[in-house]
Amino acid sequence: MRTFALAAIMLAAAPAAALCAADSGSGETGAAAWTPLLNGKDLDGWKKPTGQAIFTVENGALVGTQTTGKGGDLFTEKEYDNFELRFTYKVVWPANSGVWFRGKYQFDILKYKNPVAFSGTLYCPGKMFITKNLKEKLENRDGWNEGQVYANGDHLILWLNGTKVGECHDKTLKKGPIGIQVHGGGNFKGMKIIIKKMELRPLKPGEGPTVPKPASPEKK
């Protein structure tokens, strides 16, 4: 009787354990791991910056700034097609910056007046804002924030601090590098974009997103 009871308990527990495993990470067994894009020491894995913006590594974080009114970009050496990207950033305002993905899509980091748009807006050259975040208070302008991007096929989703701020289907770009923008303009002299963590997870076609939990932005 004891042997039978133990076997029954183990059989009942097995589906629950499998369910817990499926709920972790992306929700799929055998899902690819998250890989850091920043090593905290140098710009290894990134191309030489374009433009006059300055990109350095300070205290383990990537820092982008401009002091002349002329901006620039920094891109990864590798290109990516289907993936999830998440990053932790802080900005010294006034600023206009963003995280490029697939080369020319951008998770914008800005405060734009016409049309009104805030950080987490999806930008694409030639199309301007494909989706817009209209909730300014989602971003902690004095501290750290969590950005996340899902790009699989033409399906794009953006989150800011755990809140979905944009979702669309767009076929403009299929593959390209990840990048950091420091926008030009005299109004943005002295701006800084500071990224202390950035990691990417490749996706299989049709694989769903790792939905982040809503979270309050860090203030340190």
Torsion of CA 121, 126, 127, 132, to 10 degrees: 10
Residue 31: its pLDDT value, please?
82
Residue 68: its pLDDT value, please?
94
In angstroms, how far is CA 39 from the centroid of its own chain? 16
Reduced 3-state DSSP string for 157-199: EEEECCEEEEEEECCCCCCECCEEEECCCHHHCCCEEEEEEEE
Domains by residue range for the chain, with CATH: 35-202 (2.60.120.560)
Residue 5: its pLDDT value, please?
44
Please name the amino acid found at residue 154: D
Residue 1: its pLDDT value, please?
43
The Cα–Cα gap between 64 and 55 comes to: 4
Judged by DSSP in three states, 43 sits in: coil
Give pLDDT tens digits along the chain (220 positions): 444 444 443 444 444 333 333 333 444 456 899 999 999 999 999 999 999 999 999 999 999 999 999 999 999 999 999 999 999 999 999 999 999 999 999 999 999 999 999 999 999 999 999 999 999 999 999 999 999 999 999 999 999 999 999 999 999 999 999 999 999 999 999 999 999 999 999 999 999 999 999 875 554 4
| E strand or H helix that includes residue 6 | helix 2-23
